[in-house]
Each structure stands twice: as C-alpha cells, then as structure tokens.
Chains A and B, each alone.
Chain A
Amino acid sequence: MTQPRKAIALISGGLDSMLAARVVQEQGVQVEGINFFTGFCVEGHTHAIRAKDRARPKRNNALWVAEQLGIKLHIVDVIEEYKQVLLNPKHGYGANLNPCLDCKVFMVAKAKQWIEEQGFDFIITGEVIGQRPMSQRKSTMPVVARESGAEDLLLRPLCAKNLPETKPEREGWVERARLYDFSGRSRKPQMALAARFGFEEYAQPAGGCCFLTDANYAVKLNDLWQHRGSRDYELDDIMLLKVGRHLRPKPHFKLIIGREEGENRFLEGYRRQFTHLKTLSHTGPMVLIEGQVGAADLELAARITARFSQGRDAEAVKVEIDDNQGAPRTLEVRPLHNDDIPKAWYL
C-alpha cells in the first residue's frame, strides 16, 4: 500500500481554512494544521482578561477547528520574527496597521520550512481570490507562492480551479476536479460547503483574525511608536495595548486604566515594571503609568485614577502611588471632573 501524501494546512481558526483543510482531507491526504502566534492574534486570552466574559467558554479557535477536523495542530511562536514583517512590510499596510500580504508570504514561508523539516508534501491555505481587498486578489496569489518560496507546493483548495495547476494536482495527489472555484467577497459558497460538511458552528467570517486590522488598536500602537521615538515593541507592549483604557494627558506619559476586575488583575501582574496607582478610600481601577513622571504629573494621574473609581463624585479620594522604590505614598485628591478630561487624551 502506498503511504498517503501529507499536507500542512494553515489554520487561522476561521471558516475558510477549516473548509480548505477538510476538502483535502476528503481526498485521502493526511492533513495536519499549523497556526502562527504573532502576538497580535485575537485569541481566547482577551476574553480571559476581561472578567465579564468569563461565563462564556474561552476557546482557542484554531484548536477548536483542529478538534472538529480531527487533525493535529502545531502552534508556532513567531513573535520575534514577526516584528520585521510588521515594521518593514515590503508591500505596505492595509486599511490599518495590517501588513496582510507580507504576513501571508511570511506564514507560507514558515510552513514551507516546516514541511521540509517534517517530510510533508505540500501546503494548504484557505485563501479565496477576491475575498480580501489587499491580500487575496488574483494578482497577489502568485506573489505569495513565489515570495514564500513555496511555489507550486502551495494549494488553495477553495479557488484552485481559478489558478494554474499546482504540483499536488499535477502529480495526482489531489484531484483538481474535486477542488473549488470560489471567488469574490460573497460568503455563500463557503456557507454551502460548510453545510455539506456538517459544520454548524464556526468562528467569525473573514476580517478579524488579528488586532492589526482594528482601527483603535492601530491608533494605540502608532501612539506608542511616536512617543518612544522608535518603531519597535516587546510582547508586553502589544499585550498591554489590548487591555484597559489608555489615556495620554501629556506627551511624556500615558495611563493604562483597568476597566473591570479581570483587567485590574491582569495589570496587577505588571506592577513591578511600572509606577502604579490604586484608590484606597473607594473601590477603583488598577492604573499603570508609562513614562517618566514628576510630582505634578503624579497628582494629575491620581486625580484621573480617582475619576475612574467609585469615589468619582466624592470631595476627596485617597490614592496610593507606588513607584517600586521604597514604601508607597498616599495622596488625597479631588477627582478630576469628566469635563476636565479632554477627548484627545483618550487613545
């Protein structure tokens, strides 16, 4: 008996990659999944941070898809390598800070490296021509194949019939006639195929697989770069951008204010790295200060902290300030009035 051919499928957690993997699985190919963690992925952890979402199960969509398909899933940490993709995208950005085309090239290149190391035969993605304005156009399909080095080992089962034949088709590892010709932005063909496979539940349609497509997140990331004077980041930076209210009252410092219990607890974990504030006389948020601050800045920060506490209407609120150098200090301040917080401070 001949060994079945082996393919690695890029699994994002969305419907398209799930369908693409199943289409190839159906043809007797042994499929495993690969998922790349860039640090920007919209994952279960954003729910884990926010306590109010606790009742809902927090699942990792890519793992959930793997469970549905009955395939192994390899999750790869690409946080460091991804910096070059985000900071210097050859093909530029999409609507926000999403370097989708470079990102695709990068991920397929990583998958190519993986199949060489693991002795797999080809790569599958859920790409559909015309599905996304930037990264999934007819003209970008060959770009991804070529620049990633995957060339004709890259099979897109959902739109293969609209593309030149690849090696898996030529060699008869998969039958071209049983692949698809989806194109355009409509989700109907995907829905129909999902129904045929009996997939009743799946994650959000194309759009939000990462925070870089989020306009608000992009504002905060740009602000970080601008005020640091350099376009760089660490994992902690990009994690903190996902949490809390971010207010910049002065160019040289920013406040990160927990919005509820889960976020407060998450921010607590960073207290040794940041000057932080807490209200003592009233229930209130955990607040981190990013930047170098003087006495007047601290007072302003304390008044803002008081504003977001239960004592917002009180005459005075006691705020503890800890700069991690010796004992914390306590300030008694009048909460800043809402009208005194300019909209422009909110990031």
Chain B
Amino acid sequence: MEQELDARRILCPLPVIRTQDAVARLSPGDVLRVIATDPGVVYDIPAWCKVHGHKVLAIEEGREEICLTIEVGG
C-alpha cells in the first residue's frame, strides 16, 4: 500500500510525530510519502526511521517542499 502524509507548514518535531502516527497504521513493506516544508525534516525523519528500522527510499528537496519516501520496516 502507498500513502501520502501532508506535513506542510508544521515544524519539527511535529512532522516526525505525524510520520510516527501514520507509520503505526501501516504494515511492513508499505510505502509512506511525507510532504513537508520544514527543512529540519531532512535530518529528523531519517533519524527517526533509523532507530525504528524503517527505510528512507528517497528524499527530494524542492524549493518550497521536501518529499520523503519511507518503506515501513518489519
């Protein structure tokens, strides 16, 4: 399953908390795309994924928005 999470215009750690809540509702192998505007997410979401065993498949940094693609771990 693929899902998208709108984490725009909120500041860290809120995008991390929303990601955590979204991941909790997904199953291993599912993919979550997080769209955010706080540049801090580039550090915080991968750090959170690392300690929880999820995989960051891609980080795309646009001018205004950042998109992180996460694969939920087992």
Interface residue ranges, A against B (CB under 8 Å):
35, 37, 41, 43-45, 47-49, 54, 57-60, 62-64, 66-67, 70-77, 239, 269
List B contacts of A67 (CB < 8 A): 47, 50-51
* Cα A77 to Cα B17 with chains together (Å): 7
Instruction: Fill in one digit per residue for B14-36: 1 if any A CB lies within 8 Å of its CB, else 0.
Output: 10110010000000000000000
Q: Given A44-B44, A60-B47, does the pair A37, B17 have CB atoms closer than 8 Å? A: yes
Name the residue of chain A whose CB is nearest to the CB of B16: A75
- Can you list 28 A-B contacts with CB-CB less than 8 angstroms, sorted by A residue number? A37-B14, A37-B17, A44-B43, A45-B11, A45-B12, A45-B13, A47-B40, A48-B12, A48-B38, A49-B11, A54-B39, A58-B12, A58-B39, A58-B43, A59-B43, A59-B47, A60-B12, A60-B44, A63-B47, A63-B48, A63-B51, A64-B47, A67-B51, A72-B51, A75-B13, A75-B16, A76-B17, A77-B17
* Cα A71 to Cα B17 with chains together (Å): 17
Nearest CB of chain A from residue B62's CB, rounded to whole Å:
14
Contact A44 B47, beta carbon cutoff 8 Å: no
Contact B13 A60, beta carbon cutoff 8 Å: yes
* Cα A37 to Cα B48 with chains together (Å): 15
Interface centre among A48, A49, A57 (most CB of B within 10 A): A48
- Interfacial residues of chain B within 28-74, with CB under 8 A of chain A in the complex: 37-40, 43-44, 47-48, 50-52
Interface majority SS on B: helix, strand, loop or mixed? helix
Query: CB within 8 A of B43: which of A60, A72, A239?
Result: A60
Interface residue ranges, B against A (CB under 8 Å):
9, 11-14, 16-17, 20, 37-40, 43-44, 47-48, 50-52
Nearest CB of chain A from residue B55's CB, rounded to whole Å:
15
List A contacts of B38 (CB < 8 A): 45, 48
New contact pairs (13) apart from A44-B12, A59-B43, CB-CB < 8 Å: A41-B13, A43-B11, A48-B12, A57-B43, A58-B43, A59-B47, A60-B40, A63-B13, A67-B50, A72-B51, A73-B48, A75-B20, A76-B17
Interface majority SS on A: helix, strand, loop or mixed? mixed
List B contacts of A47 (CB < 8 A): 40
List A contacts of B20 (CB < 8 A): 74-75
* Cα A49 to Cα B11 with chains together (Å): 9
* Cα A57 to Cα B40 with chains together (Å): 9
Query: CB within 8 A of B13: which of A37, A57, A72, A239?
Result: A37
List B contacts of A57 (CB < 8 A): 43
Nearest CB of chain A from residue B42's CB, rounded to whole Å:
9
Nearest CB of chain A from residue B3's CB, rounded to whole Å:
20
Nearest CB of chain A from residue B61's CB, rounded to whole Å:
13
Contact A43 B12, beta carbon cutoff 8 Å: yes
* Cα A203 to Cα B50 with chains together (Å): 20
Contact A59 B44, beta carbon cutoff 8 Å: yes
Query: CB within 8 A of A43: which of B9, B13, B37?
Result: B13
Contact B48 A44, beta carbon cutoff 8 Å: no
Query: CB within 8 A of A66: which of B37, B40, B51?
Result: B51
Name the residue of chain A whose CB is nearest to the CB of B64: A265
List B contacts of A71 (CB < 8 A): 51
Nearest CB of chain A from residue B20's CB, rounded to whole Å:
6
Interface centre among A54, A60, A64, A66 (most CB of B within 10 A): A60
* Cα A77 to Cα B20 with chains together (Å): 11
Contact B43 A73, beta carbon cutoff 8 Å: no
Q: Given A67-B47, A67-B51, A73-B48, does the pair A60, B16 have CB atoms closer than 8 Å? A: yes
* Cα A79 to Cα B59 with chains together (Å): 29
Query: CB within 8 A of B44: which of A49, A63, A74, A76?
Result: A63
List A contacts of B43 (CB < 8 A): 44, 57-60
* Cα A54 to Cα B38 with chains together (Å): 12
